[in-house]
Structure 1
Amino acid sequence: MPVQPTLFGRAISGRRLPPRRFLVVFALIASLAIYSLVQLLPSSYAVPSAPSVGDLSGQKSSSHLHRPKFPKLSVPSIHNPFRQAAHEPPVQANSTSGEASWFSDWKWLNPFSSSITLDENRAVLPPLRPRPPIYTFYDPNANTDSETRDAESKLLLAWRRAWWAQGFRPAVLGRAESMKNPMYESLQLLRLEPDIEEEMARWLAWGHMGAGILASHLAFPMASYDEALLSYLRRGDYPKLTRYEGLGSGLFCGDQNAINAAIKQALANPELRNSKSIVDSLPKATFDVDPNHDSIALYDAATVASKYKPIAEKITGTDAGSATSSSSKDKEAAAADSSAAASPAEGLQQLVQLINSHLHLIFQNNFYDGIQVLKPWPLHTTALVEPAYEIAQRLAECSFTPMQSSCPPNRPRCKPCLPTHPMQVTTPESFFNTSTKYIIGTVPHPYTLLSLAFQREQKDITTRFVRRDTDRDVWLMKVTKELTKAGGTGSSRVVHFKDSVASTWGAAHSYWLTGDTMPMDSDSASLTADVDWHFGFVLPRPGEYVDAGTSETPVPGPERRPQPPKPKIPPPSTEELAKEKAMLAAARQVLKSNDKKLEAVKAMVEAWNLADAEAWRFARAFAARANVERAKWEEDEKNFAGTESRGIGWGRWFDRRTQ
């Protein structure tokens, strides 16, 4: 009986197995292939011979691992080597400041800037918003004393600061611009009275500069950034010559052809000699009269005399009570007292203080729900957010003013600032966009955050720790928790963050600092100047806050008033705060270091927190570009009145300023 072949205990029928000699040949070939593979490939561990081991005693052992050297391929991207190569965008003018660099492009809401700039350290920002020019005219009196000129210069500086914060490019004009207008000679031949002659010189200077806005140096913007009139003026397109009802000669706008046509028509009018302003000498059809100007506060002589009488008496030296004196002796005594009380320089300084306090008051009225200082990690980040919290405290306090409880002329029903009831300052972990709360945020570098939040020194921040003990983009996840309640990845959250920082609405409702580049001292001159120009007024300094006084209303008493909310976590002790500052300083040194090992650690942390690193670069570049823009403008305007960089006023011939 034939033998039945089986496979795994089962009979195989209908198939014939190959002859045994084929199995033997196959086994030999397989053995030869394995032997050849072992012999040809390099050994993973090259064990040295006995003599060579002896020779290595007392010497530093070299690496015994074989590391093959692969050829370096010049491909556009290691992730996509078949993609066509692309050049980096050219470097734009004024696009660097220290280590921060940026590229202005309409694709700024792309989650990661490197996909556009092909540079990891270059942030994409929105194109710089154009600033329409706004002009004022300043013609100092040669007989004015130096103190009065100083006060006038401070008033011009306050005017420039307020309009700059609202998105304009202020410039102070003088006789030099008037003389460059071809119609200036015609003005000189008319021999007009000083007041109307100065008014015409003001218009000639404006006509020489071209289209734009002409404002009195006593006209200040006192409204929210997105107010209708200010938004219209920022567009820079003025098809008609426009004046504003109730402001007199305080504000005009128009293009150059309409301006020069109005000047020519006024100079040709014989009634110009008897006119008080250029408006009286022109037909009504020349101007388009706009009755809506609630966002402009005009502090002219009539307004100051009617609403802020003590200041007007200081400036002019007049006293309303002197006019009612009955006897001649009383009149002489009142006149003597008035002359003694007259101090134009002191009056102008008080006017500057009054205007500054009103600008601060408008900010507080716009954001009546308080200020939010973002603090995602209540523990161990007090030193990091300390400058932001100090700025919030200054904004919440009342600025000094010579007239307490007064309101701007355009907002007679404002809510005055009371030292006993300052604005509320909170420290939430996250934020959401609201028009009644102002946001001040501090964006840390991912390495700084890990060092402070986890209390780790540089040697303890390793790849193992970062990958196993930390989550990705922890700062952005916490900060935008309320903004994107539905959740989302880091790339989607960073888009929301960029919009909150750099959009037109976001830039007017928030202020962002970077915890690794700003001065640790909140009183530093650079940080203080940047903050003042950002908000448009001088913030009160520590020690300059308005005293709340000792008199208290009996009902409700201090014990019955609502107390500020207590923090969920007690503030750090002096020793803990000192430790935080030391760790923050050490983290800054790591970020500034050129050591390759430290740079590798920083790159590793950034790679693990791509969205956090992108948010930090974006906020740093956005703040740096704002400072560069203002520095360049100040450099252009440094030779004119109302600047901080040089002296106090103009010289006799208006081509230089005097010290």
Structure 2
Amino acid sequence: MPLRNPCALLPRRLQVVASLTLAVLLFILLLGSHPTSTSSTDYIHRVPYGPAIQSSAHQLVENLPQIPHDLPHVNTPAWLNPFRGPAHTPPPEQANSSSGEARWYTDFKWRNPFSSDTTLDEERAVLPPLAERARVYTYFESTSKDDKTKKIELELLQVWRRAWWAQGFKPIVLGKPEAMNNPLYRAVQGLELEDAMEKEMMRWLAWGNMGTGILSNWLAVPMAAKDDTLLEFLRRGEFPSLTWYKGLESGMFVGSRGEIEKAVKEAIAFPAINTTKSMFEAVGKETFAVEADHGAIAFYSSATITAKYPLLATKLSSPSTAVQGLALLPQLINSHLHTTWQNTFSSGIAVLKPLPAHTTTLIQPALDIARNLSQCPSTPIPASCPPNKPRCKPCVSNNMLISVPPVLRNTSSLFTIATVPHPYTLTSLLHSRLDLGVKFVRRETDRDSWTVAATKELLGTGLSSFSRLPALKDFVAGSYGEARTLWLVAEEPVRGDSELDLDALDWHFGFQLPRSPVSDGKSVTPVPGPERRPPPPKEEFGEGPPLSEQELMTERSMFMQAQMILRDSATGSAKGKTRGGSKSFAQTREVVEAWNLADTEVWRFVRAWDARRQLERRGWEEEEEGFLGKGTFGRWIDKIT
């Protein structure tokens, strides 16, 4: 009887499985056998473990060749590696998105903790989209031949522009060229109008040529808190109807292009246009929507000055003193703007100082600004109030409180000036050393100490530093925080004793900060020397006695050296010595930034925020420069000489 394959008795599928199983078992048996002369314990003792592994690893790392740090980065194309996953690319550079070393990217994700998640770039901060400023127009055409009068009028225009810009508007001064560009200009030229009506028609023609917006007299300025309901409505720039504000006379109108054109045509068709003196007489009452709320606008009309400021009215009514009286008007309006700001922040000014030890030099510029803001402005009429705020609290003495709290406080009546230092600057001052190696930074310093200390009261002590960033950014750039805070970068200070810096602050606050003491001597200027400064501010939770002059000098010297190192590290030109040997300051800066990610993010955010604000104003000034009298006779000039 012939031999049969035992697997043949199984079904065909099971034959395949059985054959594969038998083959695997034979493979394991043949390759897994060991010589009988070697015991299993010998192999166990040959396997390194514990200190032997550590010793071998250290020896291997020490014998590795040193990789140079300046190797060029080669971004190989993805098609060379078919297994390479897809990667996001950084967003493109936006127009006007850099100023000096500050770089930013505009996006609605600006509240995210880290900007690099959006930009894929450590150096670019994500800022909120720039709000479009509603346009506010005024018509100016000087009829005076006196140079002194013209100069004062230009100064008043500067007061008007500065006040509207600080409130979030885009002020534009119009003249006869804009009126002549209106298609209805020829129709108006054929009319024989009174002088007052002709000027009023030119004003409306210029406004109609520009389109939807706000028409303001150049003696009508916003004088209220930034979150006032009327100002918030005007900032939206949406005006469904032609509106006149009762109580402002012809000081301010709002409307759309179509409504403006309709009103001008109606005035031209009015039969008695030759004898009228205002648009109210030439158009029907139904043309205007009347709004009674005008408490945020102060209009210094002739009637207002006569009723509220008789001293000024007396000078203006006399031909011999009219110029002298007009020269007092810019000073009066500026003092009322300053007084309104002081009344808005009745709780005073807080100069933030989260880490009191060895950071006095960092907040010194902020203290200078606070003292300027708390000083009483010079005014020709002491104890006077704005026409729209008859019950104000005049600044008759230097009584605005300046405090130096260690934490941010969410108080609507408190204005905060915060100075954000770079982590390298802060660490150097706190530990009185410039040599910051990796070992020292990781073992001897706290992470994100400034962010945690500043938000300790606002957010509590349980959150991580990363979780604090969204709230802190909102405190800087949110609509609520923007109106109640001023944020500075310690390494790029805005000083209260610099005319250039004070001019930039004037445009931020909307009024000219005091430069000199007032005549009665009750208020003193914060510059130029300590002998003329007001009393020191109230400091909360201060640590020990104030620093001596020698300690302050050491702190200033350390701060200046840290500034220089940061500046050189940005250019990559500086070299220094550390314990590990030769090492660039750029690498030291990277180490500190990597250890303090939240503090670095705040510093870059504030630096970019301030740089964009300055860039926006300079861009607007350059845009308006072409319409400031160059090549056109009779147009006003921006710079008063």
1:92 aligns with 2:94: yes
How far 1:455 moved relative to its partner? Answer: 1.5
1:652 aligns with 2:630: no
Q: Aligned partner of 2:475: which letter?
A: S
Q: Which residue of 2 aligns with 1:9?
A: none
Distance in 2 (CA, whole Å) between partners of 1:430 and 1:129 is 29
Of 489, 503, 515, the residue aligned with 1:514 is 489
Deviation readout 1:240-276 (Å, 9 max, x if unpaired): 1111011111111111011011101101112222222
Q: Which residue of 1 aligns with 2:505?
A: 531
Distance in 2 (CA, whole Å) between partners of 1:302 and 1:32 is 105
Distance in 2 (CA, whole Å) between partners of 1:69 and 1:363 is 59
Q: Which residue of 2 aligns with 1:67?
A: 65
The answer as to whether partners of 1:176 and 1:654 remain within 8 angstroms in 2 is no
Q: Alignment partner of 2:380: what SS? A: coil
1:24 aligns with 2:38: yes
Q: Which residue of 2 aligns with 1:607?
A: 594
Which deviates the most, 583-592 or 606-615? 583-592
Deviation readout 1:582-607 (Å, 9 max, x if unpaired): 21111111111113710000010000
Of 341, 350, 353, the residue aligned with 1:372 is 350
Q: Which residue of 1 aligns with 2:581?
A: none
Structure 2: tracts of 5 or more residues without a match = 1-32, 525-534, 576-583
Of 477, 496, 515, the residue aligned with 2:452 is 477
* Structure-1-length-normalised TM-score: 0.81
How far 1:454 moved relative to its partner? Answer: 1.8
Q: Aligned partner of 1:285: which letter?
A: E
Of 548, 571, 577, the residue aligned with 1:573 is 548
How far 1:198 moved relative to its partner? Answer: 0.3
Distance in 2 (CA, whole Å) between partners of 1:610 and 1:276 is 65
Q: Which residue of 2 aligns with 1:14?
A: none
Deviation readout 1:589-644 (Å, 9 max, x if unpaired): 11111137100000100000000000000000000000000000011112445xxx
The answer as to whether partners of 2:158 and 2:638 remain within 8 angstroms in 1 is no
CA 297–564 in structure 1, closer or farther in 2 if over 3 Å, else same: same
Q: Alignment partner of 1:382: what SS? A: coil
Deviation readout 1:570-593 (Å, 9 max, x if unpaired): 433332222222211111111111
Distance in 1 (CA, whole Å) between partners of 2:343 and 2:634 is 44
How far 1:343 moved relative to its partner? Answer: 3.3
For these two proteins, the number of residue pairs brought into alignment is 572
Q: Which residue of 2 aligns with 1:159?
A: 160
Distance in 1 (CA, whole Å) between partners of 2:111 and 2:545 is 38
Distance in 2 (CA, whole Å) between partners of 1:525 and 1:563 is 23
How far 1:193 moved relative to its partner? Answer: 1.2
The answer as to whether partners of 1:639 and 1:657 remain within 8 angstroms in 2 is no
Q: Alignment partner of 1:482: what SS? A: helix
Q: Alignment partner of 2:470: what SS? A: helix
Q: Which residue of 2 aligns with 1:424?
A: 401
Distance in 1 (CA, whole Å) between partners of 2:403 and 2:95 is 40
CA 114–545 in structure 1, closer or farther in 2 if over 3 Å, else same: farther
Distance in 1 (CA, whole Å) between partners of 2:124 and 2:67 is 32
Q: Which residue of 1 aligns with 2:240?
A: 239
1:389 aligns with 2:356: no
The answer as to whether partners of 1:398 and 1:546 remain within 8 angstroms in 2 is no
Q: Alignment partner of 1:170: what SS? A: strand
Q: Aligned partner of 2:633: which letter?
A: R
1:354 aligns with 2:332: yes
Distance in 2 (CA, whole Å) between partners of 1:239 and 1:480 is 43
The answer as to whether partners of 1:380 and 1:452 remain within 8 angstroms in 2 is yes
How far 1:429 moved relative to its partner? Answer: 0.4
How far 1:315 moved relative to its partner? Answer: 2.4
Distance in 2 (CA, whole Å) between partners of 1:86 and 1:454 is 40
Distance in 2 (CA, whole Å) between partners of 1:530 and 1:76 is 47
Q: Alignment partner of 2:38: what SS? A: helix
Which deviates the most, 207-216 or 264-273? 264-273
The answer as to whether partners of 1:272 and 1:278 remain within 8 angstroms in 2 is no
How far 1:375 moved relative to its partner? Answer: 0.8
The answer as to whether partners of 2:332 and 2:379 remain within 8 angstroms in 1 is yes
Q: Aligned partner of 2:369: which letter?
A: I
The answer as to whether partners of 2:372 and 2:496 remain within 8 angstroms in 1 is no
CA 546–113 in structure 1, closer or farther in 2 if over 3 Å, else same: farther
Distance in 2 (CA, whole Å) between partners of 1:370 and 1:656 is 37
The answer as to whether partners of 2:194 and 2:276 remain within 8 angstroms in 1 is no
The answer as to whether partners of 1:75 and 1:82 remain within 8 angstroms in 2 is no
Deviation readout 1:522-561 (Å, 9 max, x if unpaired): 32233212211110000112545862299xxxxxxxxxxx
Distance in 2 (CA, whole Å) between partners of 1:212 and 1:114 is 38
Q: Which residue of 2 aligns with 1:11?
A: none
How far 1:316 moved relative to its partner? Answer: 2.8
Q: CA RMSD in A?
A: 3.1
Deviation readout 1:262-318 (Å, 9 max, x if unpaired): 10110111222222211221111111100111111110011011111222222231x
Q: Which residue of 1 aligns with 2:426?
A: 449
Distance in 2 (CA, whole Å) between partners of 1:408 and 1:393 is 23
Of 402, 410, 413, the residue aligned with 2:388 is 410
1:225 aligns with 2:226: yes
What pairs with 1:265-280 in structure 2 (closer than 5 Å)?
Answer: 265-280=266-281
Distance in 1 (CA, whole Å) between partners of 2:153 and 2:123 is 45
How far 1:33 moved relative to its partner? Answer: 9.7
1:627 aligns with 2:611: no
The answer as to whether partners of 2:517 and 2:523 remain within 8 angstroms in 1 is no
1:497 aligns with 2:497: no
Distance in 2 (CA, whole Å) between partners of 1:123 and 1:564 is 34
Distance in 1 (CA, whole Å) between partners of 2:40 and 2:460 is 66
The answer as to whether partners of 1:398 and 1:418 remain within 8 angstroms in 2 is yes
Q: Aligned partner of 2:377: which letter?
A: S
CA 462–208 in structure 1, closer or farther in 2 if over 3 Å, else same: same
Q: Alignment partner of 1:197: what SS? A: helix
How far 1:655 moved relative to its partner? Answer: 8.8
Distance in 2 (CA, whole Å) between partners of 1:380 and 1:611 is 21
Distance in 1 (CA, whole Å) between partners of 2:463 and 2:523 is 50
* Structure-2-length-normalised TM-score: 0.83
Distance in 2 (CA, whole Å) between partners of 1:563 and 1:25 is 85
CA 413–363 in structure 1, closer or farther in 2 if over 3 Å, else same: same
CA 222–386 in structure 1, closer or farther in 2 if over 3 Å, else same: same
The answer as to whether partners of 1:76 and 1:85 remain within 8 angstroms in 2 is no
CA 637–542 in structure 1, closer or farther in 2 if over 3 Å, else same: same
How far 1:377 moved relative to its partner? Answer: 2.2
The answer as to whether partners of 2:375 and 2:523 remain within 8 angstroms in 1 is no
How far 1:453 moved relative to its partner? Answer: 1.9
Deviation readout 1:319-352 (Å, 9 max, x if unpaired): xxxxxxxxxxxxxxxxxxxx54x232x2222111
Structure 1: tracts of 5 or more residues without a match = 1-18, 47-62, 318-338, 551-561
Distance in 2 (CA, whole Å) between partners of 1:236 and 1:355 is 25
CA 610–44 in structure 1, closer or farther in 2 if over 3 Å, else same: closer
Q: Aligned partner of 2:87: which letter?
A: A
Deviation readout 1:449-508 (Å, 9 max, x if unpaired): 01112221x22x221221111110000111001110252111111111100000011100
Distance in 1 (CA, whole Å) between partners of 2:218 and 2:149 is 15
